[in-house]
Amino acid sequence: MSNTNHHQPRYRIKSVANITGLSTHVIRKWEERYDLFHPIRTKNRYRTFSEKDIQLLLFIKTKLREGKSIGQVAQTDSVALRQDMQQTPLPLCLIPPPFHEDVKNLIQAARHLQSDHIQLKLNHWIRHLGLQKAMMLIIFPVLQLIGEVWHQGGISISGEHHVSQLVRQYLLTATKKDPSSHTRQAIVACVPGDYHEIAPLTATLFLQDLGWHAIFLGPSVSFEILHTALRRKQPQLMILSCMLEPDEDTLCSWIERMTKDIQPQCTLAVGGAGLSSYNTLFNQYEIPYLRTIKDINVFTPNSRMIHNTSMSAI
């Protein structure tokens, strides 16, 4: 049974431009000249677009990258284009071959917003592999695959959210089961403005399995809250995650706060795709950059990388 919400969200043209990377001028021209989509006007006469419209725009971008012109794409009517959009090929190279059919079925369920089908598939993988192994072997690759398919217009924003929110709930439940008997404290959090919780939640789970009493503080955690957590929890380790690349000024501000407020008090590490291009810079400040979740294995509670520091300065 589908769990489709009939009150579908609508997006103003500026939001659509931000999501798709197309200018508002291009979107208006494609609407007027090629009649490929029909945004609904609000009472204030603002154009509002559906998720399917956003998918179609992303799908058209994919076709243009393949060498077609917008005129050639527009020769196919919007109904046929939307049908082709749902048949976007799945780049399964990241997925272990034994799971290919399972993943195809999950993507199809996500396209139709069938949460129950998605949950059954996730349950099956976790039950047979365990949550940690399932995350590394299949669920992380699936999330990456869904991201690629979304950028090609092959799945809606809601379809992607159906999968990621179910995975997030599994991780939240698992990390809250930590017996809290470990003496070593660790804190994991998303940097300010970052709301991507799955990777840091998985990092929290890995730390707990390594013997840490690890806590995930949440998404978009301010440095003021981190400072308070340092004072109250007195952790020996803190890991900050960032999936979206910050601008240079923001990064410099973060590094200043990290080296002033956090690093003198405990071992600090960072991770996430948004910081990958700054790996060398973080190394200059002796802040390890974790390329993958597996890199967390260096932080055993008795690791030489963990230093003991008095918290009295906080």
Q: What is the pLDDT of residues 130-148, one digit of tens each?
A: 999 999 999 999 999 998 8
Query: What is the average per-residue pLDDT within 212-234?
Result: 94
CB-based burial, 4-13: b 16+ in 10 Å, e otherwise: eeeeeebbeb
**Residue 309: predicted pLDDT:** 38
Give tens-digit pLDDT for 276-289: 999 999 999 999 99
CATH of 11-85 given 3.40.50.10190, 1.10.10.10, 1.10.1660.10, 1.10.10.60:
1.10.1660.10
Q: In the structure encoding, which two tokens stand for residue 193, read together? A: 């403005």
Q: Rounded distance, CA 156 to CA 27, Å?
A: 18
Confidence of residue 308 (pLDDT cuts 50, 70, 90): very low
Confidence of residue 48 (pLDDT cuts 50, 70, 90): very high
Residue 157 has pLDDT above 80, yes or no: yes
User: Looking at 53-67, 115-129, 262-276, which range is the least confident one?
Assistant: 53-67
Give tens-digit pLDDT for 90-107: 889 889 999 999 999 999
Residue type, position 185, single letter: Q
Confidence of residue 43 (pLDDT cuts 50, 70, 90): confident
Yes or no: say if 238 and 208 are a contact pair by the CB < 8 Å rule. no
Query: What is the average per-residue pLDDT within 185-195?
Result: 95
What are the domain boundaries of the chain?
Answer: 11-85, 92-174, 179-298
Query: What is the average per-residue pLDDT within 255-284?
Result: 93
Residue 302 has pLDDT above 80, yes or no: no
Q: Rounded distance, CA 223 to CA 314, Å?
A: 13
- Which has the closest alpha carbon to 130: 177, 180, 170? 170
Q: In the structure encoding, which two tokens stand for residue 159, read together? A: 């379809």
Residue 314 has pLDDT above 50, yes or no: no
Residue 108 has pLDDT above 50, yes or no: yes
Yes or no: say if 296 and 264 are a contact pair by the CB < 8 Å rule. no
The CATH number given to 179-298 is: 3.40.50.280
Which SS3 state, helix, strand or coil, does residue 8 take? Answer: coil
pTM equals: 0.80
With left for phi above 0 and alpha for psi between -120 and 50, is residue 191 left, alpha or beta?
beta
Q: Rounded distance, CA 218 to CA 216, Å?
A: 6
Residue 86 has pLDDT above 50, yes or no: yes
Topology annotation, domain 92-174:
1.10.1240
Q: Rounded distance, CA 254 to CA 276, Å?
A: 15
